[in-house]
Structure 1
Amino acid sequence: MTAIDRGTDRAGLVAVVGTGTMGQGIAQVALVAGHPVRLYDAAPGRASRAAGAIADRLGRLVAKERLSAAGRDTALGRLTPVTDLADLAEAELVVEAILEELGAKQQLFTALESVVSDGCLLATNTSSLSVTAVAGVLRRPGRLLGLHFFNPAPLMPLVEVVRGAATDEAAADRAQATVAAWGKTPVRCADTPGFIVNRIARPFYAEAFRAYEERVADPATLDAVLRESGGFRMGPFELTDLIGQDVNEAVTRSVWEALFHDPRFTPSLAQRQLVASGRHGRKTGHGWYDHAQGAGRPAPHTAEPCEPPGKVALHGDLGPAQGLVGLIEEAGIPVTHEPVGAHLALPDGTRLSLADGTTATEDPFAASVRFDLALDYRTATRVALAASTAAPEESLRSAVGLFQALGKEVSVVQDVPGMVVARTVAMLVDFAEDAVARGVAAPEDVDTAMLTGVNYPRGPLAWGRVLGARWVRDTLRNLHHACPTGRYAPSQALIRRAAADERLL
């Protein structure tokens, strides 16, 4: 693959059309990488103001000693705001970052096609529209592709390189090589609703919002469990307040509608009500949380200290939670081993088992308590527990005391299928497996996208390999039995792998 050459005058010219936050960020990336850049915006004066904003940002980089003053001056010498599309005639790459309206993008690229050379690459930064549809009005649709940058473009490494139905392989190769030369991490994907990240990430938000609607716990507790047990950098409630509830809900709705209302992608009514009420998150001062000046963040529900059990019996093995056994022994609590089962038995008769898509209340053993999945039980600082409605209070206290003896905070949540982390991760793994099976992207690109685009603690396919295809399938089947709407139906790709006892991709 050959990247677009960098130059100091006209060679390697990159044009950016649309000078909002994303357009400015893309222009800055190309500038710092050594390209001459021309900025165009249909609104009078906006391109010049954007050039000034880029100069200010580069100045801040100089102040932070991340860029030399000479480097800033050289970069700014290559930046030219223009007022006419004809001024983009010499561009080798045009990146569009205008409003997310199909007609507007088609009109722009039709106009550009009559201006630029036949060798110029055309790229749309759309996050929600079909690249194929954008290119459908062009005489030469083969040179148009998607380059989906993530905000803020100068900081986020991921770029999704999206091939439309008519995109030439050579065009995609050249675009990928170019963004790689800019220091970005490109991943290739097909033109499908949500591409990689916005498709596979939907359960991270949807399952937490559904848990809230089911009154499993409050947003602060659900966020804490997913952060401190699941290993995610931010919980879904605080993250969507940062993104903007209107923006996040619109992406979810767009993917759901584009996939013909697939029940796995159903939007959240609670989030829809937030958006309708104007509570869009930080930018409006209120979302799931109150962001007004001086407003404190509510604390997650955390259990009071309880006495740990004097000993524990391991029946069978705990599957993905087997690492707990070593932690219990390290805490000085004796562990005996029994050959049959998949649970921990405490001296008072309490039976502790890993969340598997069923509820503790469904367990025929009354004193049943479920514990949630963790990314790594050794490093997790919080674990969620849910007790059967028939369990005596002493059973819950014993279970709480056991995890507290391991140095964990404990959040007691309502007893629902899959709890919090388990159902979220099982869905993420299956969405990733299904995306690969449908040709959305290669396995390595899926995990790279989720690691670098949304900062997941582990790629979902790698996570699935740790958990095992059968555990993921069985958890989803149990969830599907509890909620037979199709939302939790495991994909055929996952079912096949689990049946053959194959590793996930």
Structure 2
Amino acid sequence: MSTQALPTTATVAVIGAGAMGAGIAQVAAQAGHAVQLLDLKPGAAAQAIAGIQKTFTRLAEKGRMTAQAASEAGARVSLAATAAELSGAALVVEAVVEKLDVKQQLFAELEGIVSDDCILATNTSSISITAIGAALRRPQRLLGMHFFNPAPLMALVEVVSGLATEAAVAQAVHDTALDWGKSPVFTKSSPGFIVNRCARPYYAEALRLLSEQAADPATLDAVMREAGGFRMGPFELMDLIGHDVNFAVTRSVFEAHFGDPRFTPSLIQQELVNAGYFGRKSGRGFYDHAAGALAPAPTTEAPATLANGLALWTGEALGQALAKRLTAAGVPFTAHDVRHNDARVLRVGETLVHLTDGRSATQRAADNSHEATVLADLTLDPLTARGIALARADHCSEAAFKAAVAVFQAAGLSVARLDDVPGLAVMRTVAMLANEAADAVSQGVCDAAAADTAMCKGVNYPIGPLAWADAIGLPQVLAVLDHLAKAYGEDRYRASLLLRRRVAARRPFHD
């Protein structure tokens, strides 16, 4: 057991028997605590308890816990009919409606019931902990304990301190969550905390790419999965979350940051919400979710003929991976074991392929005075990636583009053609995710380790954004952001001052 964790003899109370409240109650009971579950809706708590007990039974049937442990865990959850019955709780976790006045009233009532050393926690995902605590007599024992849905399966817990929260209270909740098998991270009360703030670019950049007709949703989703290593593409993920929910969170973060353009909501998503196209729950979003509907296939390039005279620059990770993949496929090439000053990856005939640096291919062709210019997008691991996105300059002929396509296909990669948008898809998204995480660190919202843990454990990113930026190279990430800012002329793409400092100091985020 962690040093400051609540002992299993301590009673945990959960208020709100919806999906989140029931999930939190299940986690606490499985960890060994007696749990009281309260919901003012008649029958809701009893129904939730029955569901929790059935879940424990199913876990025993699957061999994930013994029948005795399942029976004992289920018996530890009891129904509370009124708040007055929670007087003996050591920790109360609130999971009711997301309304400030409701939460303030509830915690004010609890202050007159529980002991002075009882910890009060809210599962809010968006409301200021400081604002909730402002109505309390002892706001120092209030904090956020933000679980992610479904609580029994998702590892992350954001431990959120308001302005008045005592450090010892936050530490106790952190250690308790750790003992419950979770991955807790400290953060301070600020709009979106860590995850809902730092994840915004994943949706925002995809929506902007769609608005610029870079590709269709299915193709962009496939690129983010097959090249970026994300479990779900942004459009399918927004359909799963629900556009009403996702759009509301974006608006909330945007307004809470006083209209910062980095968080500007999308007109495309607003139209979906206006139409009632919320995603899976309404049967339609970016995709048709009606029974029997077929998912659209991503658009990929038809097989192209490989030309002779291929040269690779293996000083770049992509060029190095292509060399290994092409060697395995028996494709001959000339290797230049150097990093070219224009970050080129390969040359075939007159076609030059570069890794994107945030400029469009057309701008890159003009800057390099080379018409047959093609850009390749970032891949999480070019050795194992299943696909990659390419874009050609407006100057580049179709034949020259096809020559590049053939090389990647010969290396076993499916190729998605994107229109010539700055930064392509994976690179600009990862740069923006890292930039937002860097800003959160610079503002004391969390540290770098917490930012990466939160994004991996809370939204299943394949690697933390700051660790990913370190792997790419911070100077390259900064160059992408600066080129995006120049291309768009918007403050949306301004680079974090902390990122600039790290580049100037030649220090990664994780030493």
Whether the 8 Å contact between 1:465 and 1:504 is mirrored in structure 2 is yes
Residue in 2 aligned with 1:81?
A: 79
Equivalent position SS for 1:117: coil
- Identity percentage over the alignment? 50
Residue matched to 2:347: 346
Query: Which shifted more, 344-353 or 441-450?
Result: 344-353
Aligned residues: 501
TM-score (norm 1): 0.96
SS of the residue 1:146 aligns to:
strand
Q: CA deviation at 1:443?
A: 1.4
Change (3 A) 1:142 1:450: same
Equivalent position of 2:240 in the other structure: 242
Match of 1:211 among 209, 212, 228: 209
Q: Which residue of 2 aligns with 1:490?
A: 495
Q: Taking structure 1 as reference, are residues 78 and 483 closer, same or farther at Cα in structure 2, changes over 3 Å only?
A: same
Q: Relative to structure 2, which stretch is displaced further, 269-278 or 472-481?
A: 269-278
Verify: 1:252 aligned to 2:250, yes or no: yes
Q: Which ranges of structure 2 fall in alignment gaps of 5 or more residues?
A: none
Tell me which amino acid in the other structure corresponds to 2:465: P
CA distance in 2, matches of 1:236, 1:347: 33
**Aligned pairs for 1:141-156 within 5 A:** 141-156=139-154
Contact 1:353-1:370 within 8 A present in 2 as well: yes
Q: 2:426 pairs with 421, 446, 469, which one?
A: 421
Amino acid corresponding to residue 213 of structure 1 in structure 2: S
Aligned to 1:430: 435
SS at match of 1:361: helix
State yes or no: 1:122 paired with 2:120. yes
C-alpha separation between the residues in 1 aligned to 2:349 and 2:398?
11
Q: Per the alignment, do residues 336 and 70 of structure 1 end up closer, same or farther by CA in structure 2, a change over 3 Å counting?
A: closer
Letter of the 2:108 counterpart: T
Q: Which residue of 1 aligns with 2:394?
A: 389
For residues 429-468 of structure 1, what are the structure 2 equivalents within 5 Å?
A: 429-468=434-473
**Aligned with residue 407 of structure 2, among 402, 407, 411:** 402
**CA distance change for structure 1 residues 319 and 377 in 2, over 3 Å: closer, same or farther?**
closer
Is the contact between residue 163 and residue 191 of structure 1 (CA under 8 Å) also seen in structure 2? Answer: yes
Other-structure match for 2:416: 411
| C-alpha distance in structure 1 between counterparts of 2:228 and 2:74, whole Å | 43
Structure 1 residue 57: Cα displacement: 2.0
Q: Deviations over 1:7-52 (max 9, x none)?
A: 3xxxx11100011100000000011111111111122222222212
Cα pair 1:450 1:459 within 8 Å, conserved: yes
Task: Please tell me the residue identity of whatever aligns with 2:400.
Answer: S
Deviates more, 1:321-330 or 1:113-122: 321-330
How many angstroms does 1:255 deviate by? 1.0
Question: CA separation in 2, counterparts of 1:301 and 1:360?
Answer: 20
Which residue in the other structure is 1:30 paired with?
28
2:5–2:173 CA contact under 8 A, matched in 1: yes
Q: Structure 1 residue 3 and structure 2 residue 13: aligned? A: no
Q: Please list the CA deviations of residues 256-278 of structure 1 after superposition, one character each: whole Å capped at 9, or x if unmatched.
A: 11111111111111111111111
Structure 1 residue 345 displacement after superposition: 4.9
Structure 1: distance between partners of 2:318 and 2:505: 19
Structure 1 residue identity aligned to 2:440: A
- The answer to whether the Cα contact below 8 Å between 1:320 and 1:467 also exists between their aligned partners in 2 is no
Give the root-mean-square deviation of aligned CA atoms.
1.6
Cα offset, 1:105, TM superposition: 0.3
Specify the alignment match of 1:190 in structure 2: 188
1:134 maps to what in 2?
132
Change (3 A) 1:74 1:315: closer
Pick from 66, 69, 78 the counterpart of residue 68 of structure 1: 66
Match of 1:374 among 365, 370, 379: 379
Q: Within the alignment, does 1:358 sit opposite 2:363 as a pair?
A: no
TM, length-normalised to structure 2: 0.95
Residue 332 of structure 2 corresponds to 333
Structure 1 portions without partners, runs of 5+: none
SS across alignment from 2:290? coil
Given that 2:313 and 2:319 are in contact with CA atoms closer than 8 Å, whether structure 1 keeps it comes out as no
Q: Give the counterpart of 1:158 among 156, 159, 170.
A: 156
SS in 1 for 2:204: helix
The answer (yes or no) to whether the contact 2:319–2:346 under 8 Å persists in 1 is no
1:294-317 deviation line (CA, Å, top 9, x unaligned) = 111100001110112323234694
Structure 1 distance, partners of 2:152, 2:373, is 50
Q: For residues 300 and 57 of structure 2, what CA distance do their matches in structure 1 show?
A: 45
Once the two structures are superposed, the pairs formed by residues 263-342 of structure 1 within 5 Å of their partners are: 263-314=261-312, 317-318=315-316, 322-331=320-329, 332-337=331-336, 341-342=342-343
- 8 Å contact 1:403–1:410 — kept in the other structure? yes
